[in-house]
Amino acid sequence: MPEIIRKSPVFDVVVIGSGAGGGTAVKVLTDHGIDVALLEAGPMLNPARDFREHVWPYQVDHRGAGAHSELYFGRQQWGFFAAPVGYWDIPDEPYTAAPGNQFRWFRSRILGGRTNHYGRISLRFADYDFQPEDGLSDPWPVTYAEMAPWYDKAEGLIGVTGTREGLRTAPDGNFLPPIEPRVHEVLIQKSCRKLGIPCIPSRMAMLTRSINGRAACHYCGQCGRGCITASAFSSSQAMIFPAMKTGKLTVIPGAMARELVTDGSGRVTAVSYVDKATRTERQIRCRAAVVAASACESARLLLNSRSLRFPNGLANGSSVVGKYLSDSVGYSLSGNVPALEGLPRHNSDGIDGMHVYVPWWLLGDRRKIFPRGYHIELGGGFRMPQIGSFHQACAALEGYGKRLKDGIREGYGAEVSFSGRGEMIPNRNSYCEIDPERVDAWGIPVLRFHFEWSENEINQVRHMHQTFQAIIETMGGKVNGPVPDPKTAGISVPGTIIHEAGTVRMGTDPARSALNSYCQAHEVKNLFVCDAAPFVSQPDKNVTLSIVAFAWRANEYLAEEMRKGNV
Amino acid sequence: MSETVDRSRREWLRHIGVSLSLGTAANSVLTAQDAHHVHEAVAADEAVSKGPYLPKALTAHEFATLERLSDLILPADEHSPGALAAGAAEFIDFLCSASDEMKRIYTGGLGWLDGAIRRRNQGQTFLDAAPDRQTALLDAIAWRESAAAGMEAGVEFFGWARKMVADAFYTSPIGIRDLGYQGNRAMSEFHVPREAIDYAIERSPFK
């Protein structure tokens, strides 16, 4: 039996998870002078040691293929040079899918979580995202007007590039200067203009100007590897390290939360966790808890926190915890553009990812046969050669010798790619629950996933294909790859866009939601959930900026309630 | 990452007077110029000469055959040296040394090349065969659609060899120069050269 250590100081707040939501909670609470303990299931982060920024492939023996050639055999969990200590599969922490179902769950176990590597696309949700006009999903308990000032704060802290465009589908924000479009992006903009599709400067959490003591970007295009200068936003560098300097924050790494402990009055009094290094059970006492472990992990923790008073899991009288699981609808297509072949060489690294993007442009269009919409992310340019960079070229050119070498050189930088990220309507067949038959290496029951795309999402993906093909062909290019399978239309495997949301939803009705509009549990006043779990729907806008905005608002509210003595 | 790279990168970080250790991480911002020093330090670590390479997984004959194959796949030309000079065979042998699955692909595939030449040329190995015999065999396996019947195993192997020789070449300093990749450096501003935009527009439907 593990040793149970009961003696511990009482923290004002225990925050579980150190990603975008946990990082924001820590920042806001410590700014108010509140004593916070932060539990992170992974190790501490040391950017100088852990980030592989600036390293050339040839400086590594296996050049990024993995020590055992994992990349060549489809077993690589994530790019070798990428920042996260994260995986689709963590041997000690498995998950399951119900028979006939598929769901992939990416976890990043390190201080800062997935914010160390993520794409940093930072889009505000629009007014109609909060109050849908089609009635296909429930309205949120907040409006865009209420959230706008919190988006201002979030953008002010993390730093987001952009331009004011006045589009209803892409609300303007508090922007840093945009970055120039690359050559292929100039062509894509012209192609889109011809097709009546907007293509505007991208909104990315990279600093085109120094703010908050973080250096301006040095444009090496490797943000996904983690940024040593903290010019690309991460919760670890921009929120948690500064909070540590206040003396109000205690970071506890290697701590896997098992259960929220409640007293007779139904309040959270402690968090029980496993210290992974020693496999010792520990408890940390608190006056309030902020759960920010990522949408599915937060649902798992609540569902595993069962007691006589909460037999269905904590804050789950409504039985909605785990339900309404969604991921973004994903589809990608690439093409080769003759106008870019032999392009004069120059440094096109810039910021990692796109410098311009396509916001949703068919709001209210009656001809389309699917609800809601999507945005388009663009790729291309002279990227640092990596293992795999020319596999497609080899397969397309075939042969060998000087013709192959000339062909690869000619085609380098001539490929453009498009990824649609669209809105899924939550459905009753997509949810997670506790698998009664399995526990992880710490003895904690694991999640079992159920997931199903509906015809709504499949039709949306078909529309993406037509749009991408039209953009490629209008710029004189040719689509790469085979036509997708007509049945699935090439839709992404559920979970693989890594935008899980909705599993601990907010709402005004405690019978149909777990949290109120401040992400506070209806049934447990000193419990807050601050990741994408509270989100009522999955707008076609990446969730991270909204996680920061909602967490900021929730934790200001928590601090105020603590000051008033209500929590 | 090799020890050398790791060590010199750390030395540079120390040299520019910035500690990125946790305790001071909140202050750990580098100027673009400092960041450029880090890039340069890393670049300066480019492979130090290590003497002749001794194969770790393949036999001397297999390794020599692989070297010849890599030279045929991406030869030296007026732009750059080829895959042989870029050490493609070394990279592949290194991967074979840590993966039995990979090793089987290469021992099997290189053996297949010898067998195919032997059947055609009375007992010669691929390495011994005249260059035109070697290319005649590659011509039969390097194009999937037009491959001769009975050559499937060779086609499959050549697909592996071609993509991995390309990986090795284009991730080497020689291959990176051949492509003309100019990034992985710190810049104080990002600009796109006008002539590059003009080049593309001139060749596009939007001119």
Provide, rounded to the nearest whole percent, the portion of chain A with pLDDT above 70.
99
pLDDT digits 0-9 by tens, A516-541 = 999 999 999 999 999 999 999 999 99
CA A346 to chain centre: 32
Closest CA to B72 of B164, B135, B157: B135
Tell me the residue range of the domain where A391 lies: 159-224+329-422+454-490
Ramachandran angles phi, psi of A372, nearest 5°: 60, -160
Is residue A292 located within the same domain as residue A281? yes
Residue B85 resides in a domain: yes
Is residue B90 located within the same domain as residue B37? no
Please give the model's pTM, rounded to 2 decimal places: 0.93
Is residue B64 located within the same domain as residue B162? yes
What is the count of structural domains for chain A? 2
Are A549 and A154 spatial neighbours (Cβ–Cβ below 8 Å)? yes
> What is the interface pTM, i.e. ipTM, of the complex?
0.93
The pLDDT of residue B184? 97
Is residue B16 located within the same domain as residue B90? no
Is residue A407 located within the same domain as residue A531? no
What's the sign of the alpha-carbon dihedral B164, B167, B169, B172? negative
pLDDT band at B51 (very low <50, low <70, confident <90, very high): confident
* Position B23 pLDDT exceeds 50: no
Is residue B119 located within the same domain as residue B158? yes
**Is the Cβ pair B186, A394 closer than 8 Å?**
no
Are A552 and A153 spatial neighbours (Cβ–Cβ below 8 Å)? yes
Is residue B41 located within the same domain as residue B67? no
| Beta strands at A356-357 and A96-97: parallel, antiparallel or unpaired | unpaired
Q: Which two tokens stand for residue A10?
A: 């009482």
* Counts for chain A of helices (H) and strands (E), in that order: 12, 19
DSSP A327-386: --EEEEEEEE-GGGTTPPP----BSSS-SEEB----TT-SS-SSSS-EEEEEEES-PPP-
The pLDDT of residue A85? 79
Is residue B68 located within the same domain as residue B156? yes
A479 sits in which H/E element: strand A478-479
Is residue A361 located within the same domain as residue A469? yes
Is residue B70 located within the same domain as residue B30? no
Tell me which chain A residue has its CA closest to the CA of residue B179. Answer: A409
Give the residue-averaged pLDDT of A412-417: 98
A393 CB near a chain B CB, below 8 Å? yes
Q: What is the DSSP letter of A224?
A: G
The pLDDT of residue B52? 85
Residue A184 resides in a domain: yes
Arithmetic mean of pLDDT over chain A: 96
| Beta strands at A96-97 and A445-450: parallel, antiparallel or unpaired | parallel
Is residue A284 located within the same domain as residue A396? no
Tell me the residue range of the domain where B129 lies: 60-179
pLDDT band at A77 (very low <50, low <70, confident <90, very high): confident
A498 CB near a chain B CB, below 8 Å? no
State how far the Cα of A365 lies from the Cα of A375, in Å rounded to an integer: 15
Residue with tokens 């580098």: B30
Q: What phi-psi label fits residue A508: left (phi over 0), alpha (psi between -120 and 50 degrees) or beta? A: alpha
Are A376 and A419 spatial neighbours (Cβ–Cβ below 8 Å)? yes
What CA–CA distances, in Å, run from B15 to A50, A56, A200? Answer: 19, 21, 42
**Is the Cβ pair A54, B191 closer than 8 Å?**
no
Collect all residues of chain B within an 8 Å Cβ-Cβ radius of residue A241. Answer: 22, 25-26, 28
Closest CA to A510 of A524, A525, A522, A527: A522
- Indicate which CATH number applies to the domain containing A361: 3.30.410
Collect all residues of chain B within an 8 Å Cβ-Cβ radius of residue A474. Answer: 205
